[in-house]
Amino acid sequence: MTTASRLEDAVRQVLGEEARLRDAQREALTELQDRDTLLVARSGAGKTAVFAVATLLARRLTLVVSPTLSLQRDHVESLAEAGLRAASVSSARTARQQRDALEAAASGGLDVLLLAPEQLVRPEVVDTLAGAGVGLLVVDEAHCVSEWGHDFRPDYLHVPAAAARLGAPRVLATTATASASVRQDVVERLALTDPAVVVHDVDRPNIHLAARDVADDASRDAAVVQQAVDAEGAVIVYAQTRAHVDALAEAITAAGRPALRYHAGMRARDRDEAQDAFMGGTADLVVATSAFGMGVDRADVRLVLHAGPSPSLDAYYQEVGRAGRDGEPAAAVLFHRAEDFAVSRYLRGGGAPKETVLRTVAAAVRKAPADRAEVVRRTGLGARTVSRALGALVQAGAVDEQDGPRWVRGQRLDAVLRRVRENHETRRRVDLSRVEMVRTYADTLDCRRRVLLELLGEVQPDPCGRCDRCDEGTSRSAGDGPYRLGQAVVHPEWGAGTVTLVEDGRVTVLFEEHGYRTLAVDLVAESGILAVAAA
């Protein structure tokens, strides 16, 4: 059987007799034959089908790193419907069920095994799977590597070491949105080898985009409550903090529309009940933090409201993407006040691992060869604390994890700690600049969709006609000024950068170590301070 006919058979099995691959799917599958691939494609574009087809073609085990239990459950169900043998290893499974799934994967009894990053990096999991002949490692919702890898989910930083111990399989990273800085983060933190970056179908033209500047907390919340109560169909309201979620849910319910709550401060059972009620259609409105999102695939959500900005445009567009998955008209509105961005900066401004922790973990690693469990035992620290510290030491070039944590010969601890601090400061600058890009989106008078998509790395030269700025007539087409999207430029203080947005009179540039900076076009062009890099 030829390669082409095998591909056709795999596509029919996964997508159905009459289905055809989308351009993004076909390109990703082609690239995967020769190299690691980052696939950025909108929700509903069929990213799961890509690794399902790739698995059938390779006839080897695929591992899928998936961040939430609901996503893992959905993947297992959809893969089973396509005739693939799939199972998951997660905290929702009993110890026996986890062992059975691992043994089935190791013995050839599974096509796909799904697990969280925290499961993948466990020594006993890697040891069991090392001889399983893993052909493909998929990192689903790969923007989490950038958003969470350095702090909230530090085990993402240890995925490359696990991959190396599994025989360095081909890696596919997938996500619905990823700005230029997030794509760079994903490539670097997953140690992708000469990767192809495939970007398709990011726009969701059926979602009308709008933002509202409000004077104070009371005005913002009153506007959110009123629009939520008046809206027809299913609604998701996002808030920045747990306390704000509780207050808004209470206010919306008091105004006459029952509202569910969802945040990490609730019991797991209560969260599951809220999500199941919303997904099953027995409830039509939920107020949530960003914890509510991945794995939520209700097709008929008509409205997504934000009571305050998300910490990055990537996160915002992920949340906006919960609307209108059935292709019918939907809307997304961001309500914001100036002080809300200070909250976002605070949420993005987490500290580096403490020096005392780094010294303790470094001492444990240098003492004698050990796996991560032994490092935890030696230090007496929590597993997540150790994971975070090891990640910082790996990023600083002091620890090699390929054969378990090992101190790299010749690395002086004081110099390593200095590099950790420098890496953290660079990360902090980039993270805070991402908050400012949300402000740019919120404050723009230009086409809101064009600003959003160009900051996410897409070319969108003309007004969209489906946002509040186009409705008001203030949108403009991109001009023929001295700078253009994707252009390489150089600044004397911030170094090399890439133009990510050109507005009327303003240019936004992404600098590798300083994040996003927005500059006046006339000023930088006349002064020569932002020079176009030589080709």
Q: What confidence tens digit (pLDDT) does each residue in 194-205 have?
A: 999 998 878 899
| Predicted local confidence at residue 284, as pLDDT | 96
What tokens appear for 440 in the block?
């740019």
What tokens appear for 318 in the block?
């992920």
pLDDT band at 255 (very low <50, low <70, confident <90, very high): very high
pLDDT band at 251 (very low <50, low <70, confident <90, very high): very high
Please compute the mean of the pLDDT values over residues 416-423 and round it to a whole number: 91
Please compute the mean of the pLDDT values over residues 192-215 and round it to a whole number: 91
Mean residue pLDDT across the chain: 87
Does domain 355-419 sit in CATH 1.10.510? Answer: no
pLDDT band at 270 (very low <50, low <70, confident <90, very high): very high
How many other CB atoms sit within 10 Å of the CB of residue 93?
A: 18
pLDDT band at 306 (very low <50, low <70, confident <90, very high): very high
What tokens appear for 69 in the block?
């239990």
Please compute the mean of the pLDDT values over residues 461-467 and round it to a whole number: 89
Which residues are CB-contacts of 43 (< 8 A; sequence separation ≥ 6)?
A: 176, 204, 297, 321, 322, 325
Pick the CATH number of 3-200 from 1.10.3430.10, 1.10.1740.10, 3.40.50.1820, 3.40.50.300: 3.40.50.300
Question: What residue spans define the domains of the chain?
Answer: 3-200, 207-333, 355-419, 479-535
Of the chain, the percentage scoring pLDDT greater than 70 comes to: 95
What letter would DSSP give residue 311? S
**Dist CA 464 CA 462 (whole Å):** 6
| Predicted local confidence at residue 349, as pLDDT | 54
| Predicted local confidence at residue 343, as pLDDT | 63
How many other CB atoms sit within 10 Å of the CB of residue 360?
A: 19
Which residues are CB-contacts of 183 (< 8 A; sequence separation ≥ 6)?
A: 38, 40, 197, 457
pLDDT band at 451 (very low <50, low <70, confident <90, very high): confident
527 burial type by CB count under 10 A (0-12 exposed, 13-18 middle, 19+ buried): exposed
The predicted-structure confidence for 133-181, as pLDDT tens digits, reads as follows 999 999 998 888 877 655 667 788 888 888 988 999 999 999 888 888 8
Quote the crossing angle between the two packed helices 413-443 and 355-367, to the nearest 10°. Answer: 130
CB 322 within 8 A of CB 288: no
| Predicted local confidence at residue 123, as pLDDT | 83
pLDDT band at 457 (very low <50, low <70, confident <90, very high): confident
Q: b/e for 193-227, b at 16 or more Cβ within 10 A? A: eebbbbbbbbbbeebbbebbebeeeeebbebbbeb
267 burial type by CB count under 10 A (0-12 exposed, 13-18 middle, 19+ buried): exposed
**Dist CA 202 CA 453 (whole Å):** 8
Q: Is the pLDDT of residue 222 over 90?
A: yes
**Dist CA 11 CA 18 (whole Å):** 10
Which residues are CB-contacts of 121 (< 8 A; sequence separation ≥ 6)?
A: 155, 158, 159, 161, 162, 372, 387
Which residues are CB-contacts of 10 (< 8 A; sequence separation ≥ 6)?
A: 52, 53, 56, 57
| Predicted local confidence at residue 381, as pLDDT | 92
Q: Which residue has the tokens 């040891």?
A: 127
Please compute the mean of the pLDDT values over residues 109-118 and round it to a whole number: 92
How many other CB atoms sit within 10 Å of the CB of residue 160?
A: 20
The predicted-structure confidence for 39-81, as pLDDT tens digits, reads as follows 998 777 788 899 999 999 999 999 999 887 778 888 888 899 8
What tokens appear for 150 in the block?
């350095």
| Predicted local confidence at residue 169, as pLDDT | 94
| Predicted local confidence at residue 10, as pLDDT | 87
CB 55 within 8 A of CB 62: yes
3-state helix, strand, coil in the chain (%, to 5): 45, 20, 35
| Predicted local confidence at residue 347, as pLDDT | 56
| Predicted local confidence at residue 277, as pLDDT | 93
> In 3-state terms, what secondary structure has residue 329?
coil
| Predicted local confidence at residue 534, as pLDDT | 67
Which numeric CATH code is attached to 479-535? 2.30.30.140
| Predicted local confidence at residue 318, as pLDDT | 87
Which CATH architecture is the domain 207-333 placed in? 3-Layer(aba) Sandwich (3.40)
Quote the crossing angle between the two packed helices 372-379 and 355-367, to the nearest 10°. Answer: 120
Query: Which of 33-37, 144-148, 380-384, 433-437 is the most confident on average?
Result: 33-37
Q: b/e for 135-157, b at 16 or more Cβ within 10 A? A: bbbbbbbbbbbbbbbbbebbbbb
* 199 DSSP β-pair partners: 40
**Dist CA 148 CA 352 (whole Å):** 13
| Predicted local confidence at residue 195, as pLDDT | 94
519 burial type by CB count under 10 A (0-12 exposed, 13-18 middle, 19+ buried): middle
Of the chain, the percentage scoring pLDDT greater than 90 comes to: 38
Which residue intervals of 258-354 are DSSP H helices? 268-280, 313-320, 338-348
Q: Do domains 207-333 and 479-535 have the same CATH topology?
A: no
**Dist CA 470 CA 335 (whole Å):** 18
| Predicted local confidence at residue 353, as pLDDT | 82
Q: Is the pLDDT of residue 443 over 60?
A: yes
**Dist CA 450 CA 463 (whole Å):** 7
Q: Is the pLDDT of residue 286 over 60?
A: yes
